[in-house]
Structure 1
Amino acid sequence: MEPQTYRNVSTKSEMVTELRELAEGAEDIYAFQGPREFVPELADALEAAHDRGVLVLLLLADEDPESLTGQSYPATAVRQWNPQGPVVTSAMVDYVSGFVTDAQFDDYGGDGRALAYHDRYFGGMHLTSLILNYWREGREVFTADPKPLPREYESFYHAVIDTAKHLRDDRDLYARVCGRRKRNDEPETITGPVVNVRQNIIYPITNSMPSENSLFLETDGGQISIGGPSSELEDLRAEDVELFEGSVVNS
């Protein structure tokens, strides 16, 4: 079993260092919520993560949504959040590592209320809580353009978000998906036009259930639903996704 570790973060400078190191080590997803003042401190690490294909989600606390619009960010998607109480600052990386505190950055006195962790079970709950409890309450202020196609994704989450962006711009998409059938866990590769996407990250949010992030492909055998590697509802659990624009998938 993967080791689980927890440790207190004692100073404000250690907070920033922890958040930067999490971004620098991210391979799949970096999800952050907290005051907008953190962004300049983390900008270069976030930009580098985004450039290497990490899905970077920023939920920034600010009472004035207009102050966050009309500018670009080192991120895949950014939402503005107007908390009704103390601001929670947290980051989750690759579903396994993260940082969380309800202490306020400007007056943090090292009282043990800031925690860095490495725990796959807690990391999964952390991301679910951020998306379901906070992200949907935010207002979208920025989404980055998706990378040019064709493109191969190891991160199913990132493939879903880029698909939603391409479909939002009325592009015709095809996909090749390698994964395993839910019913028998047998490996399978399917190819076909992308006819729908359901997701809960960018506008318009289209999921029919709280944690649903799914692609739908039309095949000779009918429509196939595709979820992530641990999905329980969709027909196919994706391991790799390749997206193409146009009506023909390249060989």
Structure 2
Amino acid sequence: MDDSTLSDRLRQLGLSEKEVDTYLTILEHGEAKASTVADDAGVSKRYVYSVSEKLDERGFVDVIDHAVPTTIRANPPDEVIAALTTDLESLEPELKNRYGNVSEQEREFEVIKTRTTIMKRITQLLERAEEEVTLSVPATLLDEIEDALETTVDRGVMVILLVTGDDSLPESRFSGLASIARSWGENAPLIVTADQHLGLFAPNEMLVRSNSGKQGIAISQAQLVPIIVGSFFGNYWPMAEQVYVTEPDVLPRTYTDFRHSVLQSTLHLEAGHDVIVRAEARPVRTDEYATIEGQLVGVRQSLLEPTRDTFAVENALILELESEDDEEAIVTVGGKGAFVEDYEANSVTLERV
């Protein structure tokens, strides 16, 4: 840290420019007479006495006035830092009491300037997720968020993880941390979304290099976060190599996150299981929901290799329905906002035959 930066940091603690110069002079001497400090700092001897009393009250120095002449001794820096830290920590309870009730995640937009805040927001999004998380993170961050990822998976949340900047991590590294994981040797932005309405975006440089000058943004808006999810699946996910896939869930199970039902349907089909699907759904462009039931005969998806989508980010279940006159009909079911499929589903239940 250069002299200018050091002076700026000390001024942030409430010291004036002359007080900073006087303190640094005392610090360099370790202990000195007031006249010596005055000469070196370019201030009057009376000013040194006045400033020294203030610095003494704050714990920066110790004024030894029981001897003649009076001397001023700099306190050890580790003691000064410890005292300042204690003072700041003592403010926390009162600041929290006065802090407004609106949580930071509920703000529609938040500009983030530090890596520390980015890491805090990642953990918060993982803790708040109830259904689905998508993440694109540098491999260097994996250790820091490992516990939060494991807890999220344990809650039954689907975690779709893309690790960038290192494509050499073994499959075992992802066990318990994701539902499905891919790795890519290239660098990519940090992208984190939770349940389609909370999002976080930051340049890669902000995470791997200190003082990059870059900024991130947190978003809490249901209209925008799906766009981030679409960018994740459309631009970055296809570039990476699949390295880990979880085991199929024990059925029956109901999914309110449609993408999760598609993932599990794919896993069960690949395992050779016969699966019945019951969906609370409505024909697209209509308003009346009903329960439809049929045999799962296929999926269209881009989550797992080999992909079976007909366009980017497609997710659909293909069912064989049995009508009242015993005729079979093949229909497609999509998630919320579906328009190219036959049905739009609110929830999906999978059950082994």
Using structure 1 for the length normalisation, give the TM-score: 0.90
RCO higher in structure (CA 8 A, sep ≥6): 1
Which is helix-richer, 1 or 2? 2
Contact 1:10 1:110 in 2 (8 A): no
Instruction: Give the aligned partner of residue 137 of structure 2.
Output: 34
Instruction: Give the aligned partner of residue 318 of structure 2.
Output: 216
| 1:106 positional shift | 2.8
Cα offsets for 1:201-220 (capped at 9, x unmatched)? 11111111112100011112
Identify which of 172, 186, 194 aligns with 2:274: 172
SS in 1 for 2:162: strand
**Matching residue's letter, 1:37:** T
Quick one: distance in 2 between partners of 1:201 and 1:12? 30
SS in 2 for 1:210: coil
- Between stretches 163-172 and 177-186, larger displacement belongs to 177-186
Quick one: distance in 2 between partners of 1:57 and 1:77? 5
SS in 2 for 1:121: coil
Quick one: distance in 1 between partners of 2:333 and 2:210? 44
SS in 1 for 2:168: helix
Instruction: Give the aligned partner of residue 347 of structure 2.
Output: 240
| 1:20 positional shift | 0.5
Instruction: Give the aligned partner of residue 16 of structure 1.
Output: 119
SS in 1 for 2:146: helix
Matches within 5 A, 1:40-51: 40-51=143-154
**Matching residue's letter, 1:147:** D
Contact 1:68 1:80 in 2 (8 A): no
**Matching residue's letter, 1:24:** E
| 1:26 positional shift | 0.7
Identify which of 289, 301, 312 aligns with 1:187: 289
Which is strand-richer, 1 or 2? 1
- Structural RMSD (CA): 1.7
Identify which of 88, 91, 103 aligns with 2:192: 91
1:53 aligns with 2:156: yes
Tell me the matched-pair count.
Answer: 241
Distance 1:187 1:231, change over 3 A: same
SS in 1 for 2:244: strand
Bigger radius of gyration: 2
| 1:112 positional shift | 4.9
| 1:57 positional shift | 0.8
Contact 2:114 2:215 in 1 (8 A): no
1:102 aligns with 2:203: yes
Contact 1:26 1:54 in 2 (8 A): yes
Task: Indicate the percent of aligned positions where both proteins have the same amino acid.
Answer: 27
Using structure 2 for the length normalisation, give the TM-score: 0.65
Quick one: distance in 1 between partners of 2:224 and 2:255? 25
